[in-house]
Amino acid sequence: MVVKKEMFYTHFMYIPAILSAFWWGKRGSIVSFFLGFFLLISDLYVGISNERVYLHLSQIFIFFIASILVGVLSDEKKEAEKKLRDALAKKDEFINEIAHYFLNPLTIAKGYMELLLKECFSSRAKACYDKIMEALERIEEAVINTVEKGIVYERKGDVTLKRGKSQS
């Protein structure tokens, strides 16, 4: 770009071209088109040599290609972030449904076991009650650990749901 017969560094035009493509995606390449258009208009207005015009045409082409590439990458990044947010939301919804699905029957079973204990006073009933309650508490603990921490806790060791990390 020529301003009052003094040379303006056209490489500074990359900054708005790339930033606009980064912010607005592929639509931001319109800025590089207009910058190139104004560069050519200023060249023709001032009347510089054809060599300089060809040089500026090649720069305009590079502006446009660079801004399109940055725009495409920016759009793909935004789409990937959106997919990740959606996947995390679905995962959270699934975890909440699983917790509800398992914890509600456990709560009902524990409630009925307590009612049964009040009805039966024998020592054998108490021993059976203790074993059943222990099993229900282990299941409840496993469900809570799975939902909250991503691990299945068994008193013998931990089994994680993350790939490659398991203990026995």
The 10s digit of each residue's pLDDT in 38-91 is 888 888 887 778 888 888 888 888 888 888 999 999 999 999 999 999 999 998
Strands (E), 78-154: 151-154
Cα separation, 45 vs 12, whole angstroms:
21
Q: Is the pLDDT of residue 143 over 60?
A: yes
- Model pTM? 0.57
- Residue 101: what are its φ and ψ, rounded to 5°? -60, -40
Residue given tokens 């074993």 in the structure block: 131
Residue-averaged pLDDT of the chain:
79
Could you give the CA distance from residue 92 to residue 87 in angstroms, rounded to a whole number?
9
Write down the pLDDT at residue 5: 46
pLDDT at residue 118 tops 60:
yes
Which letter does DSSP use for residue 166 in this model? Answer: B
For residue 156, the model assigns a pLDDT of: 53
